[in-house]
Chains A and B, each alone.
Chain A
Amino acid sequence: MPELGRAALVAALGLILYAALVGGYAAFRGRRRLLDSATNALFAAFAATGVASLVLLAALAGRDFSFEYVARSTSQELPTGYTLAAFWSGQEGSLLLWLLVLTGFASVAVALNRRLVREVLPWTVPIVAGVAVFFAFLLVVIASPFDTQAAPADGAGMNPSLQNPYMIAHPPMLYLGYVGLTIPFVFAMAALASRRIDERWIVATRRWTLAAWTFLGFGVLLGAKWAYEEVGWGGWYAWDPVENAALMPWLVATAFLHSVMVQEKKDMLRVWNVILVAGTFALSLFGTFLTRSGVISSIHSFTQSSIGPFFLGFIAVVAAFSIVLILSRLSLLRSRTRLESLVSREAAFLYNNLFLVALALTILWGVVFPLVSEAVRGVAVSVGAPYYDFFAIVFGLPLVLLMGIGPVVAWRRASLRSVGAQLTGPAVVALVVGVALLVAGAGSSPAGLVGYTFAAFVLTTIVLEFVRGTRARKAIGTGGWWPAFAGLVGRNRRRYGGYVVHAAIVILLVGAIGIGGFSTTQKARLAPGESMDVGDYRLLYTGAQEQRGANAQEVRAQLDVYRGDERIGTTEAGKNRYLAEEQTSNEVGIRTDWLRGEDLFVIADRFYGDGSVELKVIVNPLVNLIWLAGLVFVLGAVVAMWPDAREQRRLAARFAGEGAVARA
């Protein structure tokens, strides 16, 4: 039914155009009925996009190769899970997903805040529709997933690298993040356009921002897990441009999540906050552009296409619109409060913002420099890991330190003596850990040693925060330790959820230093019956096995794994030859020791005719802490964004006079 899909997309484009133009007129002239009509058009556009998505899903499920998109992305033998995931594996499908999520998120955000949108922020609907017009236009005019052809007997199949369970979850998670960051941008711009820069746009988008930021962060980690298992070089993050594309908006959104607290508590940084929101959204678009345009070479980019100039044009429009709007409202945005002291919580947030934005801009420069160099000088250059590693250390380590210092500094101003007294305990613990690690031989990586010392410092301050808070609540008679702890977290969800997220970052740091600074690698060519030693492990190659998989011919080197003289298990590594796709992929063997948190990582580089195999074996210490950090990160984010009934009541009372309450 490609005709239905096409019709639904054309209807969606028409509805979104209507919402943008009529909604804009209604907001400008103050017409309620027209604004309601434009809002309905936005909801209807979501329904129409949903119909188009169902048509594409049905075509994928039925392997209808008369759809060019289906024939290009799937094959008869491709397992069903990957066949359905082909929805977002190609350009047209992923653009459709963008539009579906955008119209869906926008509809929910507007429906939840209908009175606020109607009475306070009428520009919300036309601005979000303006963003959606771009994607609907691309889908209708440039990159339709509903182009048809005479159906071939079989499809071309899916890129083997994409045939991994993490690739089913990773792209939608990233899109939920990228698109979710549209909502705070839209509400912020609507607040400026409507000249209503009180706190309501922040309250209305607080959870959207947190949720989108969580999706994006978790999506980056899922991508890292995919790269670790599928790309098979033994690392987890390679500063690849597409990986960086998701990291940059996440870093700027992290800065915003901190600086918006300064606005809420001190009524400062209003201009800075709208700049961060606009910057985050522009970087989200830039991330999609990098992934989808094919202008850069990346292990995550599977598309060469002509939509690049459109994306660049749209990013320029978004930037120009934001700059003009912010400049025209500068007098409204100017804060009346000033920074009272350089030793204060707000100052700590400001330092944190400077480091986060500096890191994001440094990464941005690393990503665009090859493009600029090629365009200006005609010379293709690449920016390698040493550049990024250097700046990650220069800006990252102070950020880690600030995670420990910031929470113990009072708002407004604090005496150095008081701050020093709070930090003495954690500093002593950090020093002891550092010396112990040095004695244990961790001095081989000085940056790693400093990182671990800082990690110990931050973890100690976090634990102390929980202990002191629980003790104080218990002292005011809230019952036992557990009720006191639950009450502490329940009454201060953002603060303590934030500390859990900080703990996740520290756990990730410990894992990243483990794999980056202390891994061991060995290479060897083994004949059946021969063995090799790596770290504490010995691997005995027992031979190669071939078998037919679901859609590939598989060959695996069989290995017995010993620690000392004890046989602790087996592992296998090899290659898959995909038949429809006519491509070969590396299938690594990973044996996890959960107690140590380390992986034995085996790559079978080459199989020889005489039965021997060339192996690369890596011991990655503490790498599993990186994945654990992902779970802790989500836990902390959920705690921070969990609704607080008391806060809702307080906000309802505050805004009762005007009727329009922001739904946080």
Chain B
Amino acid sequence: MEIAALVLGALLTVLCVAYVARPLLRPARSREDALATPSPDAQARLRRLEERDRALAALKELEFDHRTGKISDEDYAALVGPLRREAGEALRALEHEERPEREREEADVSG
């Protein structure tokens, strides 16, 4: 019984070591081995996407709550304007950011 336990224990250890070592057995190319670090532009874009989604979700919820009668016409009128403005600004910022990228792609295709 003791020998069986020792053999099983050794087998478990060998399997674990092999599994842990597997990624290290891949050939080490320095570029592939580096963890991705996002550029400040990518982080800023993600922030704008979050702002866009937040504004659109808020608008959708406001519309629904107004339709259910939970939000009065008076409150709706006060809230909908700023929310639309925020969503519009977020969309325009994203569009502005994507335009040069798109123009570059179109230039590549036509060139």
Interface residues of A (CB under 8 A from B): 1-4, 7-8, 11, 15, 18, 26-27, 30-37, 40-41, 43-44, 47-48, 51, 118-120, 122, 196, 198-199, 264-267, 408, 410-415, 417-418, 421-422, 465, 468-469, 471-472, 475-476, 650, 654-655, 657-659
Known contacts A7-B13, A475-B67, A654-B49; decide if A32 and B33 are in contact (CB<8 Å): yes
How far does the alpha carbon of A348 sit from the alpha carbon of B105 in the complex, in Å?
Answer: 48
Task: Say yes or no for B62: interface residue by CB 8 A criterion.
Answer: yes
What chain A residues lie within 8 Å of B45 (beta carbons)?
657
Query: Which listed residue, A44, A266, A410, A422, touches B20 by the CB 8 Å rule?
Result: A44
Contact of A36 with B23 in the complex, beta carbons under 8 Å: yes
Contact of B46 with A657 in the complex, beta carbons under 8 Å: yes
- Min Cβ gap A161→B in Å is 35
Contact of B38 with A658 in the complex, beta carbons under 8 Å: yes
Task: Say yes or no for B91: interface residue by CB 8 A criterion.
Answer: no
Contact of B35 with A31 in the complex, beta carbons under 8 Å: yes
Query: Which listed residue, A11, A31, A655, touches B33 by the CB 8 Å rule?
Result: A31
6 A-B residue pairs with Cβ-Cβ distance under 8 Å, sorted by A, are A4-B5, A32-B35, A33-B26, A35-B35, A40-B19, A413-B79
Contact of A32 with B46 in the complex, beta carbons under 8 Å: no
* Nearest CB in chain B to that of A659: its residue: B36
Known: A7-B9, A37-B21. 16 other contacts (CB 8 A): A2-B5, A8-B9, A11-B13, A44-B16, A44-B19, A51-B12, A119-B35, A120-B38, A411-B61, A417-B74, A422-B70, A468-B68, A469-B64, A471-B68, A472-B69, A476-B67
Q: Which B residues, 1 to 44, have Cβ-Cβ distances below 8 Å to chain A?
A: 1-2, 4-6, 8-9, 12-13, 15-16, 19-24, 26, 28, 32-38, 42-43
Q: Mark B45-71, 1 if CB is under 8 A from A, else 0.
A: 111011101100110011011011111
Contact of A7 with B46 in the complex, beta carbons under 8 Å: no
What chain B residues lie within 8 Å of A43 (beta carbons)?
19
What chain A residues lie within 8 Å of B72 (beta carbons)?
415, 417-418, 421
How far does the alpha carbon of A35 sit from the alpha carbon of B53 in the complex, in Å?
Answer: 32
What chain A residues lie within 8 Å of B33 (beta carbons)?
31-33
- Min Cβ gap B23→A in Å is 4
What chain B residues lie within 8 Å of A199 (beta carbons)?
50
Contact of A468 with B69 in the complex, beta carbons under 8 Å: yes
- Min Cβ gap B70→A in Å is 6
How far does the alpha carbon of A2 sit from the alpha carbon of B4 in the complex, in Å?
Answer: 11
- Min Cβ gap A200→B in Å is 9
Contact of A265 with B54 in the complex, beta carbons under 8 Å: yes
- Min Cβ gap A625→B in Å is 29
How far does the alpha carbon of A658 sit from the alpha carbon of B74 in the complex, in Å?
Answer: 41
What chain A residues lie within 8 Å of B51 (beta carbons)?
267
Contact of B54 with A267 in the complex, beta carbons under 8 Å: yes
Summarize B's interface: helix, strand, loop or mixed.
helix
* Nearest CB in chain A to that of B27: its residue: A33
Known contacts A410-B75, A415-B74, A417-B72; decide if A3 and B50 are in contact (CB<8 Å): no
Query: Which listed residue, B28, B32, B50, B67, touches A198 by the CB 8 Å rule?
Result: B50
How far does the alpha carbon of A26 sit from the alpha carbon of B57 in the complex, in Å?
Answer: 38
Known contacts A48-B12, A267-B54; decide if A411 and B20 are in contact (CB<8 Å): no
- Min Cβ gap A29→B in Å is 9
Contact of B23 with A37 in the complex, beta carbons under 8 Å: yes
What chain B residues lie within 8 Å of A7 (beta carbons)?
5-6, 8-9, 12-13
Known contacts A410-B79, A468-B69; decide if A30 and B35 are in contact (CB<8 Å): yes
- Min Cβ gap A264→B in Å is 7
* Nearest CB in chain B to that of A660: its residue: B36
Contact of A33 with B28 in the complex, beta carbons under 8 Å: yes
Contact of A8 with B35 in the complex, beta carbons under 8 Å: no
Task: Say yes or no for B78: interface residue by CB 8 A criterion.
Answer: yes
Contact of B22 with A40 in the complex, beta carbons under 8 Å: yes
Query: Which listed residue, A3, A35, A198, A414, touches B71 by the CB 8 Å rule?
Result: A414
Query: Which listed residue, A2, A47, A414, touches B16 by the CB 8 Å rule?
Result: A47
Known contacts A119-B35, A410-B75; decide if A33 and B62 are in contact (CB<8 Å): no
Known contacts A41-B20, A411-B61, A472-B64; decide if A657 and B35 are in contact (CB<8 Å): no
What chain A residues lie within 8 Å of B57 (beta carbons)?
265
How far does the alpha carbon of A51 sit from the alpha carbon of B11 in the complex, in Å?
Answer: 12
What chain A residues lie within 8 Å of B82 (beta carbons)?
412
Contact of B70 with A408 in the complex, beta carbons under 8 Å: yes
Q: Which of B12, B32, B37 has most chain A Cβ within 10 Å?
A: B12
Contact of A30 with B37 in the complex, beta carbons under 8 Å: yes
Contact of A418 with B28 in the complex, beta carbons under 8 Å: no
How far does the alpha carbon of A75 sit from the alpha carbon of B19 in the complex, in Å?
Answer: 40
What chain A residues lie within 8 Å of B9 (beta carbons)?
3-4, 7-8, 11
What chain B residues lie within 8 Å of A654 (beta carbons)?
46, 49-50, 53
* Nearest CB in chain B to that of A198: its residue: B46
- Min Cβ gap A217→B in Å is 27
Query: Which listed residue, B12, B13, B24, touches A34 by the CB 8 Å rule?
Result: B24
Q: Which of A44, A267, A654, A657 has most chain B Cβ within 10 Å?
A: A44
What chain A residues lie within 8 Å of B19 (beta carbons)?
40, 43-44
Known contacts A15-B20, A31-B33, A468-B69; decide if A412 and B5 are in contact (CB<8 Å): no
Query: Which listed residue, A3, A122, A410, A422, touches B6 by the CB 8 Å rule?
Result: A3
How far does the alpha carbon of A193 sit from the alpha carbon of B19 in the complex, in Å?
Answer: 27
Query: Which listed residue, B20, B26, B62, touches A40 by the CB 8 Å rule?
Result: B20
What chain B residues lie within 8 Å of A471 (beta carbons)?
68
* Nearest CB in chain B to that of A264: its residue: B54
How far does the alpha carbon of A118 sit from the alpha carbon of B13 in the complex, in Å?
Answer: 26
* Nearest CB in chain A to that of B28: its residue: A33
Contact of B34 with A410 in the complex, beta carbons under 8 Å: no
What chain A residues lie within 8 Å of B12 (beta carbons)?
7-8, 11, 47-48, 51
Query: Which listed residue, B15, B35, B67, B78, touches A413 by the CB 8 Å rule?
Result: B78
Contact of A4 with B8 in the complex, beta carbons under 8 Å: yes
- Min Cβ gap B93→A in Å is 14
Contact of B20 with A122 in the complex, beta carbons under 8 Å: no
- Min Cβ gap A341→B in Å is 11
Query: Which listed residue, B34, B50, B83, touches A32 by the CB 8 Å rule?
Result: B34
Contact of A198 with B20 in the complex, beta carbons under 8 Å: no
